[in-house]
Amino acid sequence: MSNRFKPKLNIKKGDSIVVISGDDKDLKKPRKVLEVFPEKSRVLIEGVNIVTRHTKPSAQNTKGGLVKKEASVHISNVMLWDKKTNEPTKVKRTRENGKLVRVSKKSEEVIK
């Protein structure tokens, strides 16, 4: 994929977010982003969208069997968590000292 039309996402690895739709919807419990897949517009979230995989025995996993792990969720189903107001918030981008920074729309604070 070329960088020319790369999507600009407001969520990054390590951010606190809430799931706003789907089976794991919970607007009061912030969760941590483990990985972001910008090409597919998806995020991997700690403890959300748990799927079961059947695995064969291997050198690393001598038993095999059923393994539960997180699957990715579309980025439109999550919202950034604002720590100041303790609510989900939208994000806008502004320039500060020539750099683009993410700013919370509810509390107007810069997101680090």
> What is the predicted pLDDT for the residue at 1?
56
> What is the predicted pLDDT for the residue at 88?
95
Q: The tokens of 101 are what?
A: 């920074």
CA–CA separation, 45 vs 56, rounded Å? 25
> What is the predicted pLDDT for the residue at 61?
86
Closest CA to 9 of 108, 109, 100: 100
Contact 43, 35 (CB under 8 A): yes
* Tens digits of residue pLDDT in 40-52: 999 999 999 999 9
**Structure-token match 């990985």, residue found:** 35
Number of alpha carbons in the 13 Å side-chain half-sphere of residue 21: 4
Q: Set out the domains of the chain in order of their start, with CATH numbers.
A: 16-55+65-111 (2.30.30.30)
Residues of the chain with pLDDT under 50: none
Across all residues in the chain, what is the average pLDDT? 92
Report residue 81 CA to chain centroid gap.
Answer: 11
CA–CA separation, 77 vs 86, rounded Å? 18
